[in-house]
Every structure is written in C-alpha cells, then in structure tokens.
Structure 1
Amino acid sequence: MSATERAPALLSIGQLADRTGVPATTLRYYDELGLVRPASRAAGRRRYAASAVRDVGLILCFREIGFSLAELARFVAGERDGRQEMIDRKLAELAEQQHRIEVARTALEHGKKCPASEPMRCSRFWSIVEGRLRGLSLEESHSRAH
C-alpha cells in the first residue's frame, strides 16, 4: 500500500464549502478565529481533514441556537462545568428573548384590534409611548394602559 493510499484524503476549501454549504470566505474567517483550522497547507492553500465537515456543522447548529462565534469558541475550548454554565446562561437569555417577543406580540395584536381603528389615533397607544418615555418597560406601560 502506498503512502497516498494510507493517508486520509484532505479537502480543499472549495470541497469543504460544497459539503457544508458555507462560503469559502466564511471558512477563512472561521480559520482566523481558530474555530475550523486546516490540517495543512499545500502550495499556500488550505487543506482540511474530513472532520472539518463535522466542525462546521457544529458551528452552524450553535449559531442557529443563538451562540455568537466568540461564545462558541469559549464553549469548544471550555471545561464541562464551564459548558454547563454557558448553556444555563443561553437558556436564560432565550427565555428573556421569548418574554420580549410575547410582550411585543401582545402590543401588536392590540394595535391590530384597536377600537380606535388606527393605532396612531389611539389614546392607549400614546399612553404606552408616554410610559416608555417615563422609563417603564413596554410590558409595564402596556399593562397600565389596559
């Protein structure tokens, strides 16, 4: 068996881009951040191990969950306890985002069904705006107006 038969095939950046759906420019950025490093360089070109496909998949999943690239770098490099703490923080962050979305949805649904038929003419709408200007949250302002 020759050396080329024993050595695992390396992927070019274009091949990695094709297999993951991630543009080569983004893969270069991931390399700069240390998230997906090439296994070697041949004639100045990046060559990736097959495992880089999995690494890019991990990044895509974590980005969809809401992790920043910096958070992802800390997650991958971290200890198990640190990862659990990051998961807890992200869960709390997502819960807060969900709450803000529900408050916004309630406000928009009111605007859609507003008895004044036009939110800009609605006295409740303007009392909510005034409440925000006084430092109340949207939720507090909306609940006081109703």
Structure 2
Amino acid sequence: MLDIAEVAEKSGLAPSALRFYEKKGLLTSSGRNGLRRTYEPEVLQRLTLINCARRAGFSVAEIRRFLVAKAGDAALEATIAEKVAVLGEDIARLQRMRESLEHASTCTHEPLVECPDFKRMLAP
C-alpha cells in the first residue's frame, strides 16, 4: 500500500490533484492509514494513463467515461475516433514545428521568420 504522499511523490502530482481525481471518480483509495488516504500500487499506472490523456486534451469527464467503458460503446467509440483525428492533426503540427526549428537552428536568413524554407515547413 502507498499513502497519498508516496503516490504524489512517485507520480509528480500534488496530493490535492489526487484528491480531486478521487472526487471525480478517476481514482479510488483503498482506505486510510490514520488520516492519510492509501492506494494500491497499481494507482501509479492509472495516473500515467490519466496524465497522458490530460496532456492529449481529454477532459476529466472523458477520462472517467473511458475508464469505465465496455467494448461496443458506440458513443465512446465516436469520441475516441474524434480524439484520434485531433491527435493526428496535433502530431502533424508538432512535427512541422520541430522540422522548422531544426532548420532555424542553422538558418542564416534575415529575419529568420521570413526564410522561405522556414515558412514552407510550417505550412499545413
């Protein structure tokens, strides 16, 4: 068993975030050790999923729904398909930005942002 301070330290989240996620139904504590919440070690894997989903733009409600979903949930499948499309666009945009910055790191054009190659790389 891990107490809330250990989970916070290992996950990099504040204890208040853990309590928030628990209140929203994303986490379940196993009980208490004195006044401190305790969690099963598997909570760290769940927090990895939650953090990844949050960074990918999922709302807390979307994550909660995903965590309890069963195969064949048509509405959830539609939401996931939308997220896949958005993530694909984000990945493409970030790759263009990375390539542009790599070019910018060696470009001698003045001003840099007017470089035709830099502009071309940023274009969708």
Does the pair score TM above 0.5?
A: yes
Gaps of 5+ in 2: 94-112, 115-124
What residue is the counterpart of 1:29 in the other structure?
20
- In structure 2, C-alpha distance between the alignment counterparts of 1:98 and 1:54, rounded to whole Å: 24
Residues 1-80 of structure 1 aligned to structure 2 (within 5 Å)? 10-80=1-71
Report the Cα distance in structure 1 between the residues aligned to 2:22 and 2:44, rounded to whole angstroms. Answer: 13
The share of aligned pairs that are identical, in percent, is: 31
Query: How far apart are residue 96 of structure 1 and its match?
Result: 7.0
RMSD: 2.4
Aligned-partner residue type, residue 62 of structure 1: A
SS in 1 for 2:72: helix
SS in 1 for 2:47: helix
Q: Deviations over 1:37-89 (max 9, x none)?
A: 11111223200100111111110111122111110001111122334322112
Report how many residues are paired: 95
TM-fit CA distance, 1:91: 2.5
Q: TM-score, length-normalised on structure 1?
A: 0.56
Amino acid at match of 1:56: L
Higher helix share: 1
Q: CA, structure 1 residues 95+58, in 2 after alignment: closer, same or farther (shift >3 Å)?
A: closer
Please list every run of 5 or more consecutive structure 1 residues that lacks an aligned counterpart in the other structure: 1-9, 102-111, 114-146
